[in-house]
Structure 1
Amino acid sequence: MTDPAPEPPRPPLPGQDAVLDAHTYDRVLEPGSDKRLPLGDGTWHQLSRNYVWVRLIALGIIIVILAAAFVVGTLVLANAWPWIVGGLLLVGYIWAAAITPRQARAYAYQLRADDLVFRRGILWQRQVAVPYGRMQLVDITHGPLDRAFGIAQLKLVTAAASTGVTIPGLTQSAAEQLRDTLVEVAESRRTGL
């Protein structure tokens, strides 16, 4: 018995790219080295610009809590040593806040004929291809800060833990559109297994 012919790549749904690319960056930033992971062909979609604000606010809250904890620690212990630890932690979080915009522009995903490709990272680059037929769950989550800025994260779960992907910072409409598209395509691919 012969296997059925593979389906031809589906064209994007009308307006799909407009929904996925609304309020996002216009291009993927790449490291300057020739040894980087190549972008390849196709349309890469990026995160919402509001993702940067959500990350900066979250890091700012952590910085304020740490600073308050170390002020209280210094007053209670009547010693200055908590400021050494606190200073190192604060420098780390301030550094994280400074590189957040560049990190957010390094996130991208691409819908291909047989899989979704997700890339992230500047120094430690990661590029994962998740086959549509292997997706078991597509989950959308968003916390209070995410809801205030109209963003969500989409999580793809497969049988192999190493290929699970979480795409943060999608607009709510892009997350819903992407979820519906991925579920539809995954169901059509899974029937042949």
Structure 2
Amino acid sequence: MSDPFDPQDTGWTPVSPRLATARILIGTVTVVVVAVLVLAVLAVIAATTSMPTWLLAVPIVLALAAVAWLVWWAPRNARSWGYQETEEELLVRHGIMFRRLVAVPYGRMQFVDVEIGPLARRLGFAKLSLHTASTETASTVPGVPHEEALRLRVRLTELGESRGAGV
């Protein structure tokens, strides 16, 4: 294994690129709701005071900048996630600027969670959570394709039981 954070390094399974789509959608809706609320408050203030009306453009410009940043950030972040099954542990990596690599030993896993919300279900992915006694070795992998998440849950449970931890 040359560089565990190199996306081109073979052996790593990437998460679904649809994770970026979900994050862009959720982020955009959040930004729009906040911008509309701020715009409404500013409109009331502008109507009742001598505030310049050009200030009403500020939340719109900030919202557009936030959505542009989301469109730039979300695909990069989704590409940074990956996992690798080894003989003794599941390796999980993520991060662009601040990178993290977590090794979760199969024998230390207490249970494996698969979560799927309405948007994730629609886009075909789930979040896989690996729980251990230590919060330092516990890990979560978002954006795992649904069928792969179910396969991993069964496989990791079997490996945990065979290694003596009792998942």
TM over 0.5: yes
Question: Structure 1: where are the runs of 5+ without partners?
Answer: 1-35
CA distance in 2, matches of 1:165, 1:191: 17
Code of the aligned partner of 1:73: V
TM score, norm. by length of structure 2: 0.82
Q: Which of the numbers 12, 15, 18 marks the counterpart of 1:50?
A: 18
Code of the aligned partner of 2:146: Q
CA distance in 1, matches of 2:139, 2:70: 22
Does 2:135 correspond to 1:161?
A: yes
Structure 2 CA distance for partners of 1:191 and 1:107, relative to 1, 3 Å: closer
Which protein is richer in strand relative to its size?
2
Runs of 4+ in 1 over 3 A off after TM superposition: 36-39, 79-90
Query: How many percent of aligned residue pairs carry the same amino acid?
Result: 36
Question: Structure 2: where are the runs of 5+ without partners?
Answer: none
Does 2:104 correspond to 1:130?
A: yes
CA deviation string 1:70-110 (max 9, x = no partner): 22111122246676577556534531331211111111100
Which protein is richer in helix relative to its size?
2
Aligned-residue CA RMSD (Å): 2.5
Does 2:47 correspond to 1:65?
A: no
Q: How many residues are paired up?
A: 157
Q: Judge conservation of contact 1:117–1:130 (CA < 8 Å) in 2.
A: yes
- Aligned to 2:14, the other structure's residue is in SS state coil
TM score, norm. by length of structure 1: 0.72
Greater displacement, 145-154 / 65-74: 65-74
